[in-house]
Amino acid sequence: MADSAVGQPAVARSPAPAPVPGGPAHVAIIMDGNGRWARQRRLPRVAGHRAGIEAARRVVRAAPEIGIGTLTLYAFSSENWRRPAEEVSDLMGLLLTYVRSEIDELAAADVRLSYIGEWRQLAPDIVAELERALERTQRNRGLHLVVALNYGAQQEIVRAVRAVAAEVAAGRLAPHAIDRATLEAHLDTADIPPVDLVIRSSGELRLSNFLLWQCAYAELWFTPVLWPDFDEIVLREAAEAFARRERRFGGR
Active-site residue, from 32, 90, 229, 231:
32
CB 244 within 8 A of CB 26: no
Q: Rounded distance, CA 4 to CA 220, Å?
A: 6
Q: Would you list the DSSP string of 96-154?
A: HHHHHHHHHHHHHTT-EEEEESSGGGS-HHHHHHHHHHHHHHTT--S-EEEEEEEE-HH
**Annotated catalytic, 34?**
no
Q: Rounded distance, CA 144 to CA 140, Å?
A: 9
**Annotated catalytic, 80?**
yes
Q: Which of 42, 131, 45, 31 is nearest to 88 (CA)?
A: 45
Active-site residue, from 3, 34, 80, 104:
80
36: exposed, middle or buried (Cβ count in 10 Å: 0-12, 13-18, 19+): middle
Strand, helix or coil for residue 25 = coil
Q: How many CB atoms lie within 10 A of CB 216?
A: 12
CB 227 within 8 A of CB 32: yes
Tell me the catalytic residues: 32, 80
